[in-house]
Structure formats: C-alpha cells, structure tokens
Amino acid sequence: MATRINKYLSEVGYCSRRRADKLIREGKVIINGKIPEIGAKVEDDDEVVVEGQRIEKSRKQKNIYLAFNKPVGIVCTTDRRVEPDNIIDFIKYPKRIFPIGRLDKYSKGLIFLTNDGDIVNKILRARNNHEKEYIVSVNRPITKEFIHSMSNGVEILETITKNCFVKQLGQKKFKIILTQGLNRQIRRMCDSLGYRVQSLERVRIMNIKLDVPTGKYREFTKEELLGLNELLENSSKTID
C-alpha cells in the first residue's frame, strides 16, 4: 500500500513529518533515483534515499508505546546535549523514541514516549480535547474562591483558560483535569491567583493512568492501546 513519503519517514523513525517535508524541499530525499514533490507516495519496494542514506524496508519497526513516570529534574527533550538531565539518556531505551508533549523540569508524573509520529500529532492537537489529570500541592490553604476561579478560567498568556474540572483533595492539595496545554499552564494559573505550586504530578493522560514507580516505564497494554485508538479515532491530524 502506498504511503506518503513524510509519513513513511516518520514511521521508520528517521524524522518527523515536518522535518521530512523540509528535507524534500531541500532536495535531500530521493525516491527511485528522482527527487519527489511534497505529498509523493512510496510503495514498500521503492528505493528511498535520505541525505545520502538508503532507508531499508527492514528499518520499519514495530511501534513502541511507553508510559513513563518522569522524576523531577528530568527535561523532556531528545537533545542529547542536555546531558545528563534529558529524558532519552535517563531512560536509555534501546531503540529511538521521543516524548509526546512535555512536563516541565520541576514537575513529575506520566508522559508517553513512542516512535509513532501519527499518534504524536493526534494527541498534541489541543482542539481534540484529550484529558490530562494532575494532582497539585500549593503553598497555602485552598479556598472556595480559588477552586471556582481555577474551574471557570484564569487569565494567563493573554488568554482565558478553558473551563476545567477542579476538586479539592486536602487543605493545600487539589486535582485538576485539563483539555488544553498552555505553557506551564497550572503553575501560571496558580500564580495568577496568588498561589505557588509546591508539587505537580500528572497521573493520567486520556485513558492511561500512572501506575509505575518514579523513574520507571512500561509498555501500553493491548487494552490501553485499543482504548487510546478509539479516543483518537475522530482526532484531527496535522500535515506535520
């Protein structure tokens, strides 16, 4: 079955779709001896060469999906120059993978890693309204006004955050479920209301819950992957 060249290069783990399109525009991708156009498709028996390197059919690997419990202090980047704090060097997984989304350096909890570029694009699309659940501790007692404001929108980054579910769990602890991913959103929301986050842990992404010790990872179960694909079935894709 024919596959768009940018998707093909993403599936074999060579680069993202966006990077593939850039390489095509730069004339660094060759299919059967010819430079293709953006959107060109390849068959399994086609010869694909990228930046002088032949991409073997055998390079197509089984998709990898990992649930990792990120510790505080680890940076969600594939940039190996951030040693020793980058997530890839910390995990030391034997095959090429990359994180889906981010958790800031001072937050902990669930993050996905994969080699499947398609699922990355779907999950990261904010308009798909995929839930992410967090447990947060702050520096002073929580009030009803705080819960109400967090639930109904807070002005940060020149916008108002979307309505979300917030529940108090203790004097200084609450649960929040977001469907958008603004930069350091929870910390900024709390700051705006005069609170400082002391700990932030992501405990769920969509249908997958955090259930491994800090610093450890596991593969998705078949049931989790099926459930995830059902949730993503109607999700928008990017041309990434």
Q: Which of 104, 116, 211, 240 is catalytic?
A: 104
Catalytic status, residue 85: no
Amino acid at 160: I
Which among 174, 177, 178 is positioned nearest to 198, based on CA atoms?
A: 174
Quote the CA–CA distance of 6 and 239 in Å, as a whole number.
9
Quote the CA–CA distance of 185 and 101 in Å, as a whole number.
13
Quote the CA–CA distance of 44 and 52 in Å, as a whole number.
19
Quote the CA–CA distance of 133 and 203 in Å, as a whole number.
6
User: Which residues are known to be catalytic?
Assistant: 104
